[in-house]
Amino acid sequence: MQTRRSFLRQASCSAVVLGGAILSSCFKKPRPNILWIIAEDICPDMQCYGNSLVQTPHIDRLAAEGILYTNCFTTNPVCSPSRSALMTGLYQTSIGAHHHRSHRQDENPAQPAYRLAEPIKLITEYFRQAGYHTSNVRGFFGGYTVGGKTDWNFAWDNPFDGQDWNERAPEQPFYAQINMSLTHRVFKRDPDNPIDPAVVEMPPYYVDHPLARRDWADYLESIQVLDRQVGDVLKRLEDEGLLDQTIIFFFGDNGRPHFRGKQWLYDPGIHVPLIIRFPSAKGAGQVRDDLISAIDISATSLSLAGIKPPNYMHGQVFLGKRAKKRDYIIAARDRCDETMDRIRCVRSKRYKYIRNYYPERPYAQLNRYKETQYPVLRLMRRLAAAGELNEAQARFFASMRPEEEFYDLQVDPFEIHNLAGTADVQGELKKLRAILEKWIQQTGDQGEEKEDPAIATYYEQKSKANYNERLAQLYREEGMDVDFIK
């Protein structure tokens, strides 16, 4: 069984580098199929990443037969901006897709269709031009439906050729996505392999309470259920003789669905698993700590298929002859549902810089979806009001937040101790601050531009209609102030 310590030791000692020689030996002709298995709302919480409580034999198999990356981060901590960036290879802040479910006709039919500017295309267009069949798979794996989620903040006509790779022509290579929702709330419990809440490892910013432990255990159990779905996909590939003709990417669309995770730029909101398996398991068993942005998956997938990524892409190729390494990743959070915000972060392997553009607003602004779906958020809000949280826990419920946050992840992996005002780190802080400012200019970050007020009004009205009554009921049952939600 691999532990967190053992895989980090393995990463530091590994002398194997997946370069052009290994890649060329993976395939000559025909061209490889490219399969993305995208899990929703998930951090690297599998056994192959060091969590011995979670039984994930199929994902662990992918890791054993492939390359496991320990430092992959999404560009946004919620699905629609993250997926918008992923499918274009561009930061969502550069293409007007940074607000969660913004200007979308499926959400608000009164809004006009929003189109991306030329020459931007979905990566599926480049696969098509190269002769690939593209599919967004719908169907059943492991007894659960995969629904073909896209969730982009723009309109696109005919983004895929079909709903399954079996629709392709004979001998035609395919690019396919399988989107798995099992780790999205509401969690799917695993009665066959229950996890004891008493033994889960809770982060120090969480209250140690039976409700919090049960909720965390439920999340971990949902990963076990998802793992069986992954196993079903691998079995189908084997049964169809496709496993060793296919490059498989397994990763998450954003971080885990706990408060201070999803929708925030701390690592639990943007740190996702990334495992890549090559045909015939070439390069198997590697553990690598390269910094990877999720938009790099797009460029790298094209490159591995023999397609040169367009020059306008922000994503970088990280495997093969065109491979580049990152010194840092950048992520951004803007409006989520009705909750207005603008946060940016720069993360190197050791340090994290966060810029809060609305420091006068609390971390835990009202978000009706999270208030109804995240029971631990309500629990800790109640305990905060009663003065029953320690310093690390109470900080998240303060009425204001600092304009800048800075963390030494080597000594403070939970991002609790803000060092922004500490003299010893000013050099590194200024360096990452300058990187952010340059990135904002170079990539055309649109976060400063005001969103059409009608969009925010629509989501405010929708959230009230969907959640106010239920939320008020929950607050009353828990003895909390209902005025907070008005």
Q: Which residues are catalytic?
A: 79
As given in the structure block, the two tokens for residue 21 are 């020689």
Q: Do the strands 286-288 and 67-73 form a parallel or antiparallel pair, or are they unpaired?
A: parallel
Q: Is 146 exposed, middle or buried (0-12, 13-18, 19+ CB in 10 A)?
A: buried
**To which H or E segment does residue 48 belong?**
none
As given in the structure block, the two tokens for residue 244 are 């060793």
């393995």: which residue's tokens?
10
Nearest residue to 233 via CA among 141, 164, 139, 167: 141
Report how far residue 214's alpha carbon sits from residue 216's, in angstroms, rounded to the nearest whole number.
Answer: 5
Number of residues written out for the chain: 486
Helices (H) and strands (E) in the chain, counts: 13, 14
As given in the structure block, the two tokens for residue 287 are 């553990």
Report how far residue 362's alpha carbon sits from residue 260's, in angstroms, rounded to the nearest whole number.
Answer: 12
Q: 298 with 283: CB under 8 angstroms?
A: no
Non-local CB neighbours of 268 within 8 Å, separated by 6+ positions = 43, 203, 255, 256, 258, 260, 261, 262
Q: 130 with 304: CB under 8 angstroms?
A: no
